[in-house]
Structure 1
Amino acid sequence: MDCQDTMRFNLQKGKRIGQVLFIVEGENTEPNLIYRVFCGIFGYQMERIYRNGEYRVFHRTDDPFSKITVINTEESHIGFIEKNNEFLNRMFDLLIDDYGLDIDNAAIYYIFDRDPGSNTNTEFIRDMLGKLSSAREINEDMTRQGMLLLSYPCIESFVGMNLLNDSIRYCWTKGIEYGSALKHALHEDLLLPNKITEDTILHCAGELFCSLKQAGIDTTLETFMNSLDQFSETNKEIFEWQESQHREKGQYGLLSLFIVALIDLGLIKIECEDNIFLSE
């Protein structure tokens, strides 16, 4: 049953999520949004290792079973997530040897932009969407686990999904193609990250399902939740739909799959009449 119109969303604050690693391209926006959501709203500890090796802890807690770690790729480009990237492999070694991160049992998410002005290697992105399919199950081609979650055209789309209705149409309506233009437009419209709250996160989850339905994705709740075990097929469907929109309209539909990480971690419980779905 497709019950998208009757879905109810609830935050699962206090849930133990284990060790979670976010690999991001930006040095400021992505870490700041992760901090806003995971520390400011959910109350988890966040650790950050910068490109220069500096290590910092934000919102320190006493819970060793729920911890967020954020690292950057060598440069702000999706091409630096390939398996044999020396910088990323050194970062993994540093996390394991110096900071005790249990990489094998961590949930890993790659948060990147599909900005036509920067991450332009379409075939590489398709390949990575196929390989980085699960946050917890190791892909043999990559020798590590990880789920690639794209934002169209950039991570600021997550802010838009929190604060707009029918957010998928924002870039089309305003003629916005590039991430830099989206950042400017959101700022001009006073759609700012500091307005993200518990309520807007729930709104964002609803916007996700509305947007996916418009993209022709099966939004039957059970089907979507099961797809998170191996997200590549759904991820590719979203990607190909967005590419077709860009070819036809000149812009992507505003969409950030960063919200999928919260659903995958079980931080958002989704109810539909007699059915309740919560990722474990």
Structure 2
Amino acid sequence: KALRKGSEVCEEMAAMLTVLRAVPYAASSSTGMLFVPPAQIGWHGGMQFSSSVFTPVLRRPVNGGAGKGAARKSLCVRAEVEGQAKVIGRRKVAGTRWLDLQQIDYEDESGVKRVWDAVSRPGLPDLCAVAILPILKRKSSPDQVMLISQFRPAVGKYCIEAPAGLLGEGEDLRETAARELLEETGLTVSRFVSDDAGDLLNDPGITPTKVKLLLCEVDLDHPDNKEAAEMGHEGVCGLAEEGEYIRRKIVPFAQFRDSLVGFEREGFAVDGKLMCFARGIAFGMEMAEKLNLSKS
């Protein structure tokens, strides 16, 4: 009798596992149905099953869903809506010389009026800054990348970044980039490689400000760059009257990503745009290597 009962339990468990394996972690936008992953299925008191019936039920949140770690309803269970969100108006709440705090009135896709907090740069367009990534070229050595570090009070750390700055009055992107590179590293642009990176949103959750990332080559063998090339990592650059104490960081282009990871381990913060760019380069190099290996 015990063996027969055990066999029945095993059959029920096998049926249950078969169904669980077939449950994908996805939602259907066309039907509005939610397919539940096994981790969200209530194992105790949340299932009804026998050899012929299996009904998984979502685990109910404890204490009505309040508190850390409480279960949340997935947005995927809602049917598609036809409306489009739109901004109704903006109003300044507070401001300083460099930043304005705004409250934005907007309607969501369902027509519900909501309020959002945001910051912006007063008197400047959304695309108000340019960053420049200089690739250092020299006949006698592999390519390198010139980065900078400077203290960022907002994060309380020294941050590894690309040279960058706000657009100057009457300047175009390349003029600003060349000026900032000279001020922050002492280097002179030899050639711009590309400026088609698109407008990069710094933090779209709180600000509309955007930056353009330009790539350039710097010929270290050129007389204009001789003095700066001899400095290496030594010396402090930037405009002292503006509180800029900028230190140069030169890394091998082939180890761009690994160098940034190393800076993080040393306690530096690393600019997100820079890390994404470096990871993209590393990924491209890895994929090219795999492609070459597959052809050989």
What TM-score range do you get, normalising by the shorter chain? under 0.3
Normalised by the length of structure 2, the TM-score is 0.21
Bigger share in helix: 1
Q: Which structure has the greater CA radius of gyration?
A: 2
TM-score normalised over the length of structure 1: 0.22
Which has a greater percent of strand? 2
The higher-RCO structure (CA 8 Å, 6+ apart) is 1
